């Protein structure tokens, strides 16, 4: 199982194996950042042995909210360099990358990325842009 990211829905470990062996896990829930060994102890009377596995949970990066970008333009539309917001978005995090999306749902799905964030023209006024901050080593994102 795993590895997981800290913002994943981390599940309780199952009380039955794929072979129908019933028992308990210690600890029973995957809920901490780091590498943890989980031990399965079968209930008495079953032809099974104690088994362990190691699961890693990586810390997801943080996406800070940057200040708003404004432009005075009678048409209500303008060209923006979204990349100027990256230092505010990532703060002091390293080994992360930032992608910009037209909606939160696109950012979560990783689809419809804004391909030219250094020259983005808004399509509505006002317009909210979503970001996805990805850890370049583990692949976790926020």
Per-residue confidence (pLDDT) for residue 68, from 0 to 100: 93
Beta bridge partners of 56: 35
The b-or-e profile of 32-66 (16+ CB within 10 A means b, else e) is eeeeeebebebeeeeebeeeeeebebbebbebeeb
Tens digits of residue pLDDT in 23-69: 999 998 887 889 999 999 999 999 899 999 998 999 999 999 999 99
Tell me, what DSSP letter sits at residue 105? H
Per-residue confidence (pLDDT) for residue 99, from 0 to 100: 98
Using alpha carbons, select from 24, 26, 30 the residue that is nearest to residue 8.
30
Query: Whole-prediction pTM value?
Result: 0.80
């Amino acid at each position: 199982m795993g590895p997981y990211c800290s913002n994943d829905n981390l599940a309780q470990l199952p009380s039955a194996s794929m072979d129908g062996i019933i028992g308990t896990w210690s600890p029973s829930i995957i809920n901490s950042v780091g590498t943890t060994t989980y031990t399965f102890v079968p209930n008495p009377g079953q032809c099974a042995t104690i088994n362990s596995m190691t699961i890693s949970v990586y810390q997801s990066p943080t996406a800070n909210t940057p200040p708003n970008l404004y432009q005075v333009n009678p048409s209500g539309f303008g060209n923006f360099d979204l990349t100027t917001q990256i230092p505010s978005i990532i703060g002091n995090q390293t080994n992360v990358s930032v992608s910009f999306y037209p909606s939160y749902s696109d950012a979560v799905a990783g689809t419809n990325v804004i391909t030219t964030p250094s020259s983005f023209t808004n399509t509505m006024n006002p317009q909210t842009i979503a970001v996805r901050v990805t850890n370049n080593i583990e692949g976790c994102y926020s």
